[in-house]
Structure 1
Amino acid sequence: MLNNILVTGGAGFIGANFVHYWLAKYPQAKIVVVDALTYAGNKANLFAAQANSNFVFVRENICNTAAIEVLLKKYEINAIVNFAAESHVDRSITGPDLFIETNVVGTHSLLKAAKNVWLTDGNNQCEHRFHHVSTDEVYGSLGASQPAFKESSVYAPSSPYSASKAASDHLVRVYHHTYGLNVTTSHCSNNYGPFQFPEKLIPLLILNLLLDKPLPVYGDGLQIRDWLSVNDHCLGIDLVLNKGASGQSYNLGANNEWANINIVKLIGSKLEQMFNADASLAAKYPTAKSVIAGKAHSLIQYVEDRPGHDRRYAVDASKAMRELGYAPQETFESGIERTLRWYLDNDSWWRSVLDGSYRSF
């Protein structure tokens, strides 16, 4: 039983959601979160977990191999789930160095620590699992009519971000094939849900609509992404951890492809419906002038496309469905509505992110 888990990047968007998911499903399990609390790490994301005696938070950088080894021994960790990563493509284009440091060097540091503690002379010393959370972006871009990426698809990263994740994936495989480390990797499509940092598309759209700011759309807005609820992503990782075969990779998607411009229109339309159904929202968010007036579409603003922008991502999750019983539970309709409601109900969270006060915690 993988009952003592180290979650890296656990104060970030997906990591924090996974922590809440795991504590709710496995109340007897110990979960230790390691996070360096860089700009996208927010300790407020973990407030609800802090009262749980099985939860431990440690502020540390994953590049500190010795510190990770101490934690693995101290808490008798037998599973690592590695969410820690720099993940924003735009930031990787303007500053790739940090992506190499965190995503490549940091992952290698974790692998070294795991090998040093869990393995001796290539022999397993305990039941263990190193799970690496990757991305569909390592496969590159798809044409409109091409089939979705399989786990066997050739890697073709096209940004410093996806290249750094591809490199880390290869290191994870190497530690399995060369040293015998028990590893798995998952490749997810675009996630959405609570606690997502506002630089990402869906929370950016929500907050800009509430603040009556432009809704930026890259190029023609016809880039296509598969959208996966973060809760369904957590479910998928749970299945990989407990049922996945060592050394294998699993795609986790929702078969839910949308063009970016249609996501923009959907969020605007849904928010207008919510304001129409609940008069108190207009009083709470008087700055949402275009939404209140039923003219959210007027805020759409096309901007110059980013360099090397991939046209389409989509993953074939049939392997995880067949071997692990994976199946997304959330419809996009219900997932988007839950996400909108969460941001409407948690304005203190996102306002502290926008003004930077979250970093003083």
Structure 2
Amino acid sequence: MCERNGHFYANFSRRNFLKTTAAGAAMVALPAHLAGLIGQAHAAGTTIKATHGTGFCNMGIFLAKERGLATADGVDLEFVITPSNAEITTMFGAGLVDISMIPYSNFMTLYDAGAPVKIVAGGGVQGCIIVAGEGIKSAEDLRGKTFGTFQADTLEVLPYDYLKAAGMTFADVDIRYMNTSPELAQAFMVGAIDAICHIEPYATQCVESRAGATVLSDGTDLYGAGYSDCVLAARTPLLESNPDAVQAIIKALMQAQAQAEADIEAALTDTVGTYYKTTMEAARNASSKQPIVVDQRDQTQFIIDRGVSMKELGYVQDLPDEGAFDWSFLEAAIAENPELYASLQRKSA
């Protein structure tokens, strides 16, 4: 699932957005160290700037970049490396990049704040894993224990829902917010915290690296199989000015999904090390737990429903609605590439 950050919401909240009524848009009040990047924002042409995370839900966009899958359609995908992991969502909300592979929960905060953004396709499904240390076998066993996660992330929503289903709240555990995926994994593996919610391939790495570690939930016990994690979101100005480029990116993601489904070993070879800071063995063991799924139209209501938890957690004021989604770009890409779409093993239709 995308790069997670712990202290992002200490500096970024609804109050940091300046609502603009004339243009109907929203801009982030940027930290000083990001202000200098504004001049590098998207200009006219076929270069699409993107932010991304580090989980397996990003594999599609990683393969699209590494293999140049959008080049044939005249689009160059350019990744913007943020000064720190905390700025991934900030930069997307501020308009410094055009698209972002982002957890649906982080997207909700931008949409709720009035940013001109839409979900246009999927990234990956499942793969959110609650891992606990030795002796912890149930939600009840988590009482009083330290629990690591990331703020406003799908990795915070799952443990919130997991505890809620057991009649518990975050007040029953000692929540610790981390900054990056490797930091969270390392804290658990060395025994600094009792339990975590992490994404693949890091969750599998944690289970394999700490004796007695147990998976309490992989999300399917609460949500069912195929639940959404990360989505491809795009800014409205790009959707309006260059819809062909958006469709080209979505086509590239479908090609990446088809290629990964046909040869996961090659996909891992092209991404482990460069993007995934884990061993090839751990990546192989984790690869089936969070597959690429570009067509997530059947997850629309699931994502909307998770807004209840996001509101209870205090991250949004209003529940998201269908206005947060624009599947027309995905549908156009499907219509133009029927054989490619038919070849995909995982999809809504």
TM-score (norm. length: structure 1): 0.27
Larger Rg: 1
Structure-2-length-normalised TM-score: 0.28
Q: Which has the higher contact order (CA 8 A, sep 6+)?
A: 2
